[in-house]
Amino acid sequence: MRKTPGPPDAAPGSERSNDPYLPDHGNSGYRVVHYDLDLDYRIIGNRLGGKASLTAVADQPLSRFAVDLGRFRIHDVRVDGWPVKYTHRGHKLSIKPRGPIGAGETFRVDIRYAGTPQPLSGRWGDIGWDELTDGVLVASQPIGAPSWFPCNDRPGDKATYRVAVTTASAYAVLVTGELVSRWRGASTTKWVYERREPTATYLMSVQIGRYQLVDLADGGIVQRAAIPAGLRDAFRYDFGRHGQIMATLEGFFGPYPFPEYVVVVTADELEDPVEAQGMAVFGANHVDGRRTHERLVVHELAHQWFGNSLTVANWRHIWLNEGFATYAEWLWAGACGQSTPDALAAQWHDELARRPATVRVADPGVERMFDPLVYKRGALTLHALRKAMGDGSFFAFLRAWVAEHRHGTVTTEEFRTHAQRFARKPLDGLFDAWLNRPELPPDLTR
3-state secondary structure (DSSP) of residue 135: strand
- Of the given ranges (12-16, 27-31, 235-239), which has the lowest mean pLDDT? 12-16
Nearest residue to 391 via CA among 333, 319, 341, 442: 341
In whole angstroms, what is the distance from residue 442 CA to residue 289 CA?
A: 39
Do 77 and 95 contact (CB within 8 A), yes or no?
A: yes
Confidence bin at 12 (pLDDT 50/70/90) = low
Q: Does the pLDDT at position 10 exceed 70?
A: no
C-alpha to C-alpha distance for 180 and 336, rounded to whole angstroms: 37
351 catalytic per annotation = no
pLDDT category at 13 given cuts 50, 70, 90 is low
User: Of 39-43, 217-221, 242-246, where does mean pLDDT reach its minimum?
Assistant: 217-221
More confident residue, 294 or 218: 294
Q: Is the dihedral of CA 64, 69, 70, 71 positive or negative?
A: negative
pLDDT in tens, 27-61: 999 999 999 999 999 999 999 999 999 999 999 99
Q: Cis link prior to 442 (omega < 30° from 0)?
A: no
Question: Residue 195 belongs to what H/E stretch?
Answer: strand 188-199
User: Quick check: helix, strand or coil at residue 308?
Assistant: coil
Say if strands 30-42 and 159-168 run parallel, antiparallel, or are unpaired: parallel
Element (H, E) at 226: strand 222-227
pLDDT of residue 446: 64
| Secondary element (H or E) of residue 379 | helix 372-389
286 annotated ligand binder: no
User: Is residue 334 packed enough to be buried (19+ CB in 10 Å), middle (13-18) or exposed (0-12)?
Assistant: middle
Report the 10 Å Cβ neighbour count for 273.
Answer: 20
| Distance between CA atoms of residues 116 and 75, nearest Å | 14
- Residue 8: count of CB within 10 angstroms of its CB: 9
Q: Which of 15, 294, 300, 414 is catalytic?
A: 300
* Sign (positive or negative) of CA dihedral 25, 29, 32, 37: negative
pTM of the model: 0.95
Local structure of residue 274 (DSSP, 8 states): E
| Summary mean pLDDT of the chain | 95
d(CA 310, CA 401) in angstroms, rounded, equals 9
pLDDT, mean of residues 318-331: 98
Query: CA triplet 220, 400, 300: central angle to 5 degrees?
Result: 50
Asked if residue 299 belongs to a known ligand binding site, the reply is: yes
Domains and CATH numbers, the chain: 30-206 (2.60.40.1730), 212-304 (3.30.2010.30), 312-436 (1.10.390.10)
Task: Say if residue 152's pLDDT is above 90.
Answer: yes
Cβ-based burial of 375 (10 A; exposed 0-12, middle 13-18, buried ≥19): buried
Single-letter amino acid, residue 283: G
The predicted-structure confidence for 55-89, as pLDDT tens digits, reads as follows: 999 999 999 999 999 999 999 999 999 999 999 99
For residues 86 and 71, what is the distance between their CA atoms, to the nearest angstrom? 14
Residue 1 has pLDDT above 70, yes or no: no
Reported as a pLDDT band with limits 50, 70 and 90, residue 214 is very high
Residue 303 annotated as binding? yes
Q: Is 254 left (phi over 0), alpha (psi -120 to 50) or beta?
A: left
Q: Which of the 8 DSSP states describes residue 357?
A: -
pLDDT of residue 3: 36
pLDDT of 8 strictly over 70: no
194 is an active site residue: no
Q: What is the DSSP letter of 140?
A: -
**Which pLDDT score is estimated for 192?**
98
Average pLDDT (159-185) is 97
Helix, strand or coil, per DSSP, at residue 270: coil
